[in-house]
Amino acid sequence: MGFRWLLKVLELRYDISSRHHITETVLPKMHDFVKKHINSLLCDMSAISFTTDIWSSSVSSSDASASDVIPAVTVLQRLLAKETDEDRGIRTMKNTLLAAVKKRFSDVEKNPLASLLNPRYKDRFFSNTNSAREAKVMVIQELQKMSGGDADQHEEPPIRRPRRDQPRNCR
């Protein structure tokens, strides 16, 4: 209210655009313009080099855990492998980046327990069902080692005896 009043005092001819006009008309037009401009620049390039810290910031943070790596790598690989009509001019870059990610993180699923045991991820981000199945077998084997043998052979807990109501000595 105060900003609108200030503009009316300073410049009577200026009309403020509504929030809906900006979000539904101005921003989409601006987005399309920038997107077309970037695509036209990329089409003329024979090679491109860039760095990004978008996905690695969560993996590199001080509170990151090993369970964050497999999902981050899997999502990145899925996005790079997905081909759309908008890939004109950057398809080679995506394929090269995908090959580099696969090479760099080829052994990331060799220790899958952290991601499997994390309730946020479970077995959703493994590259194939065999990796998820092998991880589950590893969990069962670790549990068997910890229990000292076969998980099927376990002792029953002692029988609980019912509590008897005894009169209290209240003063």
Domain limits of the chain?
1-44
Residue type, 139: V
Residue-wise pLDDT for 55-67, tens only, equals: 556 666 666 666 7
Q: What is the pLDDT of residue 31?
A: 93
Q: How confident is the model at residue 152 (pLDDT cuts 50, 70, 90)?
A: low
Q: What is the pLDDT of residue 58?
A: 62
CB atoms within 10 A of CB 118: 16
Residue-wise pLDDT for 90-100, tens only, equals: 888 888 888 98
Taking the C-alpha atoms of residue 21 and residue 17, their distance in angstroms, rounded to an integer, is: 6
User: Residues 151-168: what's their mean pLDDT?
Assistant: 65
Percent of the chain residues topping a pLDDT of 70: 73
Residue-wise pLDDT for 23-50, tens only, equals: 999 999 999 999 888 888 777 777 666 6
Q: Is the pLDDT of residue 104 over 60?
A: yes
Q: What is the pLDDT of residue 33?
A: 93
1-34 in b/e form (b: 16+ CB < 10 A) is: eeeeeeeeeeeeeeeeeeeeeeeeeeeeeeeeee
**Tokens 């001080």, located at residue:** 62
Q: How far is CA 146 from CA 30, 126, 132, 139, 151, in A?
A: 59, 25, 21, 11, 9
Q: How confident is the model at residue 170 (pLDDT cuts 50, 70, 90)?
A: low
